[in-house]
Amino acid sequence: MRTAALIVAAGRGTRAGGALPKQWQTIAGRRVADWTLDAFATHPGIDHILMVINPSDADLAPKTVATTAGGATRAQSVLAGLQALQGQGIERVLIHDVARACVSHQVIDGVVAALATHQGAAPGLDITDALWRGTAVGQPITGTLAREGLFRAQTPQGFHFAEILTAHQTYQGEAADDVEVARAAGLSVVITQGCAQNIKITQPADFQRAAQILEQEHRLPMPAFPDIRLGNGYDVHAFGPGDHVTLCGVALPHGRGLMGHSDADVGMHAITDAIYGALAQGDIGRHFPPSDPQWKGADSAIFLAHAAKLARDMGFEIGNIDCTLVCEQPKIGPHAPAMQARLAQIMGVEGTRISVKATTSERLGFTGREEGIAALATATLIGGGSACA
């Protein structure tokens, strides 16, 4: 069964900045489009590649790949590409955005395999963040959305050729993606496993992130040893008024609370800083400035989840976390299992990889005088290959 990859590369990508459209800009030593083409050219399940380009980019397009002129919109470009593939014996087609240069063979595998039993297939990722409604950054939040049952769409989106061609020929207007076009034509599309590294380069900062992914991705020479990072974190919060303390995500009854800009979860703060440290990405204050009023009283789970996601986006998995709480009171031991379970849930790792323990300072120093609580944490991150292998 002959399978083609249709690479949509006719857009201008103005939000990404630069003198050239983003697909012709360089990351990790090669142009974005070259990385994308290589992902499909080296995949054994792809028999033919066609790139849809802007006519003004003819001199920039690689001479080693077939091209055709796109239209004014993405939908017009996809239709132009599909029509150009007619008569070439193509039975299945994977439609992919050129700006997703970090797509892995594993993601492509999932789509190709699903087409054996489904009319369409597309990679997606569960949405784990809270969803807000609002008009713009700096403006008030106007509402929230339930995230259950929602997925972040990615490409390539694969279909049986004749069916998706007909769907595009009959679709009216502009669609969010090819899945929307397919579903409007009555086609069933199954969700396959996406990958957090399969990012779409959209903003200027995305170039650096994509470069980091590609430098660790399997298509580049692999290091002789896995990339193992260690980070440490330390945090202190003083006691103040209150009737409980929150430590490692668990609220413990206590005669006083902990003071801080957020919820003052000293254990979670130390762990978060340990992960950022291992990534060489600063500390909580860099990502969530205490001068920003939106983080006043914030749940520290937001910070920890961000650090864990950043680690995966940069090609690392969390090997283990070790956190030590230093205090005279409250007693930590009875609550340590619940803390480990909560931390594991936030970071998306096995509970057996999380350690929470406590010690006193033998009545010495500010913790010995029960003026506050300190926490130390160590994080081990393991990288060196695709996180979606």
Return the H-helix or E-strand segment holding 326.
strand 317-326
Please check whether residues 232 and 366 belong to one and the same domain. Answer: yes
Please check whether residues 207 and 166 belong to one and the same domain. Answer: yes
Q: Which of 167, 191, 216 is the last residue of a domain?
A: 216
Please check whether residues 259 and 128 belong to one and the same domain. Answer: no
Tokens of 18: 């630069």
Residue 377 CB contacts under 8 Å (≥ 6 apart), including other chains: 232, 233, 234, 267, 270, 271, 273, 274, 321, 322, 323, 324
In this prediction, residue 388 carries a pLDDT of 55
Domain that holds residue 44: 3-216
Please check whether residues 98 and 186 belong to one and the same domain. Answer: yes
Please check whether residues 279 and 212 belong to one and the same domain. Answer: no
Is the CB of residue 24 less than 8 Å from the CB of residue 181?
no
Please check whether residues 245 and 204 belong to one and the same domain. Answer: no
In this prediction, residue 313 carries a pLDDT of 82
**Is the omega angle on the peptide bond into residue 156 within 30 degrees of 0, that is, cis?**
yes
Is the CB of residue 319 less than 8 Å from the CB of residue 228?
yes
Please check whether residues 156 and 301 belong to one and the same domain. Answer: no
- Is 222 part of a structural domain of the chain? no
In this prediction, residue 385 carries a pLDDT of 46
- Is 50 part of a structural domain of the chain? yes
Please check whether residues 376 and 291 belong to one and the same domain. Answer: yes
pTM: 0.60
CA angle 370, 372, 373 (to 5 degrees): 110
Please check whether residues 281 and 175 belong to one and the same domain. Answer: no
Please check whether residues 197 and 287 belong to one and the same domain. Answer: no
In this prediction, residue 188 carries a pLDDT of 97
CATH number for the domain that contains residue 269? 3.30.1330.50
d(CA 245, CA 259): 9
- Is 285 part of a structural domain of the chain? yes
- Cα atoms in the Cβ-side hemisphere of radius 13 Å centred on 190: 13
Closest CA to 103 of 62, 52, 154, 65: 154
Domain count, the chain: 2
d(CA 287, CA 309): 13
Q: Which of 216, 244, 267 is the last residue of a domain?
A: 216
- Is 388 part of a structural domain of the chain? no
CATH number for the domain that contains residue 146? 3.90.550.10
Is the CB of residue 52 less than 8 Å from the CB of residue 65?
no
SS3 162: helix
- Is 221 part of a structural domain of the chain? no
Tokens of 197: 């590294």
In this prediction, residue 173 carries a pLDDT of 87
Please check whether residues 163 and 58 belong to one and the same domain. Answer: yes
Return the H-helix or E-strand segment holding 124.
strand 120-126
- Is 239 part of a structural domain of the chain? yes
d(CA 51, CA 225): 37
Please check whether residues 95 and 138 belong to one and the same domain. Answer: yes
pLDDT (tens digit, 0 to 9) for every residue of the chain, 389 residues total?
899 999 999 998 778 887 889 999 999 889 999 999 999 999 999 999 999 999 999 999 998 899 999 999 999 999 999 999 999 999 999 999 999 999 999 999 999 999 999 999 999 999 988 899 999 888 999 999 998 899 999 999 999 999 999 999 999 988 999 999 999 999 999 999 999 999 999 988 889 889 888 887 654 444 455 789 999 999 999 999 999 999 999 999 999 999 988 899 999 999 999 999 999 999 999 899 888 888 888 999 999 999 999 988 888 889 999 999 999 999 999 999 999 999 999 998 888 899 999 999 999 999 999 999 999 999 999 985 444 55
Q: What is the phi/psi pair of residue 345, to 5°?
A: -65, -45
d(CA 334, CA 313): 35
Is the CB of residue 238 less than 8 Å from the CB of residue 259?
yes
Q: Are strands 141-145 and 131-134 parallel, antiparallel or unpaired?
A: antiparallel
Q: Which of 192, 216, 240 is the last residue of a domain?
A: 216
In this prediction, residue 219 carries a pLDDT of 47
Cα 170 from chain centroid (whole Å)? 34
Residue 12 CB contacts under 8 Å (≥ 6 apart), including other chains: 21, 54
- Is 41 part of a structural domain of the chain? yes
- Is 389 part of a structural domain of the chain? no
